[in-house]
């Protein structure tokens, strides 16, 4: 083979190699582009935020650790909490957080808490909370919580809540509330905490009538 032929042959090989490398690069790039992007993990539902009422920017925070089967919790909810909502929550002065603290002495309180937290996930916590307290004497005697909640939940909602109750996240939300209560040395319900300007104070359970809280709230709002 002449030198000229050898040169041409070598040039053709070099061109072919370059084209081959280019093709491989394009295929590799296309392969990378065709790969689906990893999906971000779905955000976990915030149970605590769903068990609140009022504006988070309100100057006063009222936290209530409660047991749905506790008679005193029922009285506090119906005579004090409802009035606080009417006079202070609706005017953006108080922000209320419900914390679950079911006591072992009550046979159905843990199940009631699961119902309430599962209902929170579909935006029905307040309706279920009210129903649990107002019909406490009915379901605590029979344990048929679903029956009394059928008055505030549609059949589809009731079925969905029953399904959600089995989620480990529901029990975890209750456990987190209980753990927070233990950190604050709670041993009874309702246990009430008021925070204003970064300072938290526990209110004596037996002295937490609406009249007392009203005086306290008004004092805090003036200072």
pLDDT in tens, 59-118: 999 999 999 999 999 999 999 999 999 999 999 999 999 999 999 999 999 999 999 999
Q: What is the dihedral of CA 57, 200, 81, 211, to 10 degrees?
A: -110
SS3 193: strand
How many angstroms separate the Cα of 8 from the Cα of each of 16, 18, 21? 12, 15, 20
CB 208 within 8 A of CB 66: no
pLDDT of residue 35: 59
Please provide the size of the chain in residues.
223
pLDDT of residue 208: 86
pLDDT of residue 9: 41
Residue 192: count other Cβ atoms within 10 Å of its Cβ: 21
Phi, psi of 45 (to 5 degrees): -70, 135
Query: Nearest CA to 114 among 87, 83, 89, 149?
Result: 149
pLDDT of residue 13: 42
Note the pTM of the prediction, 2 decimals: 0.80
Which residues in the chain land under pLDDT 50? Answer: 2-32, 34
């Amino acid at each position: 083979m002449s030198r000229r032929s050898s040169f041409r042959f070598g040039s053709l090989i070099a061109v072919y190699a370059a084209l081959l490398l280019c093709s491989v690069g394009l295929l590799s790039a296309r392969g990378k582009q065709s790969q689906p992007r990893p999906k971000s993990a779905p955000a976990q539902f915030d149970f605590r935020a769903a068990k609140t009422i009022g504006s988070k920017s309100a100057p006063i925070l009222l936290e209530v650790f409660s047991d749905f089967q506790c008679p005193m919790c029922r009285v506090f909810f119906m005579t004090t909490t409802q009035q606080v909502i009417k006079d202070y929550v609706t005017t953006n002065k108080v922000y209320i957080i419900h914390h679950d603290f079911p006591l072992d002495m009550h046979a159905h309180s843990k199940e009631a808490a699961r119902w309430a937290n599962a209902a929170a996930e579909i935006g029905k916590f307040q309706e279920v909370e009210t129903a649990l307290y107002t019909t406490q004497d009915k379901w605590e005697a029979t344990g048929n919580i679903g029956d009394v909640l059928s008055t505030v939940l549609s059949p589809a909602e009731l079925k969905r809540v029953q399904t959600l109750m089995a989620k480990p996240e529901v029990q975890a939300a209750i456990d987190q509330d209980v753990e927070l209560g233990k950190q604050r040395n709670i041993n009874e319900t309702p246990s009430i905490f008021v925070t204003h300007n970064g300072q938290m104070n526990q209110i004596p359970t037996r002295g937490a009538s609406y009249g007392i809280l009203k005086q306290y709230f008004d004092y805090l709002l003036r200072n």
